[in-house]
Structure 1
Amino acid sequence: MTATTQKIFLVRAGASGEDENYALEHGVAIIRFSEYPSLATAKDYAAVLALVKASQTQINSRAAGNHAGQLWAYAVAMQVGDIVVMPRKITAQVALGRVTGSYKYAKVGSDLRHVRNVEWIRPDVPRTAFGQDLLQSFGALKTVYTVARNNALQRVTTVLAGKIDPGFTPTQDPTRNPDPGFADDDAIALDLALAAHDQIVAHIQARFHGHALAQLVNAVLTADGWTTKLSPPGPDGGVDIFAGRGSFGLDSPRLCVQVKSQNTPSDATVYRTLQGSMLTFGAEQGLLVCWGGFNKVLLAEAKQGHFTVRLWNSSDLVQAIYRTYEKLPPEIQTQLPLKRAWMLVQDEPET
């Protein structure tokens, strides 16, 4: 496969990420569309559209075209060597891999599912590793679609190789895909709440790096009723923040907090260091805040400490900020100006 023919396909693992773990553990990308049988005999878009209409006789033409376009992209257009992007709702990360096998209709658990084999090369890329325009493409309300605009192929390939997203410059020609069944990124409905959330995450990343992120976490804990002591910049002995209940912070539970601002997943060494600090300082609870999230080994190990240590990634910290924002000090609100907005919640379609 040449660079000119290679494509990027975004494939979701369920509306709530319910298929994420299975997909990563078994090296597959799976979609539901359980109302449709095997697509193995469909060789082009017209054949997929005919199958959709035959399976759902009451479906309107717009929905039929929508379903057929996604199913055709997944079963026919997707080729071995293409890149698969799977946004992870459970961990606020993005999994990146390459297609390794043809379409098949196979049993997953007790159900027959539409399946593609994928080698998940980077299963835990932080969302913060991508530019806002790519995150916007990743937030479209579809199960399967291609990501093509703003030189996406080169940029995602760069991240897949372990480097940072080089971003898009306006002098580059945005890529458009003329194939049937593909939708232009700009024309796809977006998850507006997720887009706003990603914008806030990017703002925090730009303005609260290093010790400033520890200061932000400290402000959130204070607003949440903890009495805290923030370690000064520099070596902190494994603890960025000491926290406790009561006027002097001496009452239980006592909390040790470690904050990591790097934009890469933290490993189990960081988790073990925090556990050691908890023993040293007599803290019953720990909070590990890692802006870049956590790798698979750390997450597995942290299950054993579920009742003593909590993990916060960038999304968890932002949720805590939402919860405590009105109580944050004025200087934090000035650096992070937010406004509550209301919108009508629409059903997130499987398609």
Structure 2
Amino acid sequence: MAAATPRVWLVRAGRHGERVSWALDNQVAGGGFREVNDLTKATTRESVGDLVRAGFPEAKANLVANYTGQLWALRERIAVGDIVVLPMKMSGQIAIGRVVGDYQYLSDPDPERRHVRPVQWLRTDVPRTAIKQDLLYTLGAFLTICEVSRNDGAWRMTKVLESGHDPGARPTLGKAAPVAPDVPQAGDVEADASPAVDVERYARDRITSTVIEHYAGHKLEHLVAAVLTAEGFTCTVTKASSDGGVDVFAGRGPFGLDSPRLVVQVKSDANPVGVDVVQKLQGALGSHGADQALLVAWGGINGNARALLINQHFRIRVWDADDLIDAVCRNYLQLPDELRAELPLKQVWVLVEEETP
């Protein structure tokens, strides 16, 4: 008999990801809810609710129910062996770990670092590009803590943990499921307290998905060249079969011969690239007499590659998928008409939704 799929939980580390490094370094998940006291002796959902009401005496009933549901999940519903997913806003990557202990209330001087579960972080560099759009939408819920279950999400996240790739929902389990963010289970949160979705992150993920569909492989080099051209460079895209480790040459001036002269390598794979790619680019930087190098790695770089680049800040820059999308958006009106026809974008204003602690 096949082993049961563990439950998977989204546990954020601050409104702006400010507790991510602390969570990873200390092998924990959680934090926030600074107004709420120790939950160790709160062995029922009702007793957790009492502590939430004491911490938020002016809060409306729906908000109290929402916070109670999240903290009850952290206190009791999350089990040892379950999987925790941590989106990292600063890097655009996702960390995945396994819960290894019960709820703890830490004595950390920072009240934002007290309500936690011990976690063994197993992957800390999964790119968002490795996860399909419907599951990314679930991970875009504003709730600090919620279960990932829609669209076969639990099974898929265990596969991401194993292989680094999202295989998509299994047909018999995920085909009819709606594309919507997960919410805490019935009884944990009032029906009208459903979480808002991070619209900005959702829109960014949709753009990212569309870009890689249209520009995978050698075509991504032409998109990078178009962006650099819009930023004032004269670019030459090399032939795919004989690039010698350089996909785009870029320089200032009418012929692209003036400084700064760049060598650019473009990797469209969803996996983070490693040391070998960085070393090859370092070699190309010297052999071509370039001033600087740009590595466009759609899936980002792994930890070893990042360590190799620590002392290369003024010589080599890395763009992951988010960085490239940023560059596309800020130069969009200067991009060629045919490219804008392939990638039609519109700037809109949206109301900022209130986030949980």
Amino acid across the alignment from 1:132? Q
SS in 2 for 1:151: helix
- The answer for the alignment partner of 1:115 in structure 2 is 116
Query: What CA deviation, in whole Å up to 9, does each residue of 1:50-76 have, x standing for no partner?
Result: 111123322221111111111111121
Contact 2:140 2:201 in 1 (8 A): yes
Kindly tell me the number of residue pairs found equivalent between the two proteins. 349
Matched, 1:255 2:255: no
Query: What CA deviation, in whole Å up to 9, does each residue of 1:186-235 have, x standing for no partner?
Result: 94211111111101111111111111111110110001110111111124
SS in 1 for 2:106: strand
TM-score, structure 2 length as denominator? Answer: 0.91
Distance 1:226 1:267, change over 3 A: same
Query: What CA deviation, in whole Å up to 9, does each residue of 1:82-127 have, x standing for no partner?
Result: 1101111111111111101111111446555112111111211111
- The answer for the alignment partner of 2:320 in structure 1 is 313
- The answer for the alignment partner of 1:272 in structure 2 is 279
The CA distance in 2 between the partners of 1:76 and 1:144, in whole Å, is: 12
User: For residues 113-262 of structure 1, what are the structure 2 equivalents within 5 Å?
Assistant: 113-162=114-163, 164-168=165-169, 171-172=172-173, 174=177, 178-181=185-188, 187-262=194-269
Amino acid across the alignment from 1:145? C
Query: What CA deviation, in whole Å up to 9, does each residue of 1:229-281 have, x standing for no partner?
Result: 11111241111111111111111111111100111011122122211211111
The CA distance in 2 between the partners of 1:79 and 1:104, in whole Å, is: 13
Matched, 1:333 2:346: no
The CA distance in 2 between the partners of 1:235 and 1:67, in whole Å, is: 58
The CA distance in 2 between the partners of 1:232 and 1:187, in whole Å, is: 51
Matched, 1:14 2:46: no
- The answer for the alignment partner of 1:86 in structure 2 is 86
The CA distance in 2 between the partners of 1:3 and 1:108, in whole Å, is: 37
Contact 1:146 1:183 in 2 (8 A): no
Contact 1:45 1:180 in 2 (8 A): no
SS in 2 for 1:125: strand
The CA distance in 2 between the partners of 1:86 and 1:219, in whole Å, is: 34
Contact 2:5 2:155 in 1 (8 A): no
TM-score, structure 1 length as denominator? Answer: 0.93
- The answer for the alignment partner of 2:35 in structure 1 is 35
The CA distance in 1 between the partners of 2:64 and 2:22, in whole Å, is: 29
Distance 1:302 1:16, change over 3 A: farther
Shift of 1:160: 1.1
Amino acid across the alignment from 2:45? Y
Overall identity of the aligned pairs, in %: 43
The CA distance in 1 between the partners of 2:171 and 2:278, in whole Å, is: 42
SS in 2 for 1:29: strand
- The answer for the alignment partner of 2:356 in structure 1 is 350
The CA distance in 1 between the partners of 2:9 and 2:320, in whole Å, is: 26
Shift of 1:171: 4.7
The CA distance in 2 between the partners of 1:49 and 1:206, in whole Å, is: 46
Runs (4+) of structure 1 exceeding 6 A deviation are: none
Shift of 1:310: 1.1
The CA distance in 2 between the partners of 1:321 and 1:125, in whole Å, is: 23
SS in 2 for 1:122: strand
Distance 1:202 1:63, change over 3 A: same
Q: RMSD of the TM alignment (CA)?
A: 2.3
- The answer for the alignment partner of 2:289 in structure 1 is 282
User: For residues 48-67 of structure 1, what are the structure 2 equivalents within 5 Å?
Assistant: 48-67=48-67
The CA distance in 2 between the partners of 1:22 and 1:235, in whole Å, is: 45
Contact 2:66 2:189 in 1 (8 A): no
SS in 2 for 1:232: coil
